[in-house]
Amino acid sequence: TGKCYHTFRGHSAEIVCLAFNPQSTLLATGSMDTTAKLWDLEKGEEVATLNGHSAEIIALSFNTTGDRIITGSFDHTVAVWDVGTGREQNLLIRMPTNNNATGKYERSKEAMQCPCLCVQLWNAVTGTHIATLAGHSREVLDVCFDYAGQRIATASADGSARVYNAGTKQCIAKLEGHEDEISKVS
């Protein structure tokens, strides 16, 4: 019908990413104001604010069961949050910053050699690094799993996309043909 059901207000800066919970009526938004918010689509109200990042949130996604959400930020961290409580469950990555801030910093030797050219695969429950998926010659701009969690697709500024076997961590397809960067993959 084109009818607007709700307008959500609450962020103090631009919203740059959003995701629908696959198992409920929740919507998540990530903002330049360093927060993510959970919204109830039926009630039209804010459910929780996820505070913890010190810079803009630029990516977020729910897990398939809808009980966890992951956020990525320009503060060089990736955090996993409990949807029910709005609390941070795990900090997956803390990369070094220019101001020599202290904090947990664990990366494999291979990961340190290709900070933007590779994809880091992490266990979201334990926070441990599983693998580094390498192969692109320029920055990786997007990553996604297939619905079964069997394959990982990557998109790169090098104009190619790659598909990796999630179990073996091996590249099983290199998709070429674009003349410029590929910014999204699904």
Per-residue pLDDT tens for 108-133? 444 444 557 888 888 877 878 899 99
- Partner residues linked to 72 by β-bridges: 59, 78
Among 33, 68, 95, give the residue marking a domain's end.
Answer: 95
Instruction: Examine the domain organization and report whether 4 and 78 are in the same domain.
Output: yes
pTM above 0.75, yes or no: no
* Mean pLDDT value of segment 15-43: 94
User: Tokens 């692109």 — which residue?
Assistant: 136
Instruction: Examine the domain organization and report whether 137 and 81 are in the same domain.
Output: no
pLDDT digits (tens, 9 = 90+) for 60-103: 999 889 999 999 998 888 899 999 999 998 887 655 444 334 33
Domain count, the chain: 2
Structure tokens at 145: 């799993």
pLDDT at position 102, please? 30
Domain containing residue 169: 133-185
Instruction: Examine the domain organization and report whether 4 and 90 are in the same domain.
Output: yes
Does 18 have pLDDT greater than 80?
A: yes
The dihedral built from the CA positions of residue 8, 13, 16 and 17, taken in this order, carries a sign that is negative
Instruction: Examine the domain organization and report whether 87 and 162 are in the same domain.
Output: no
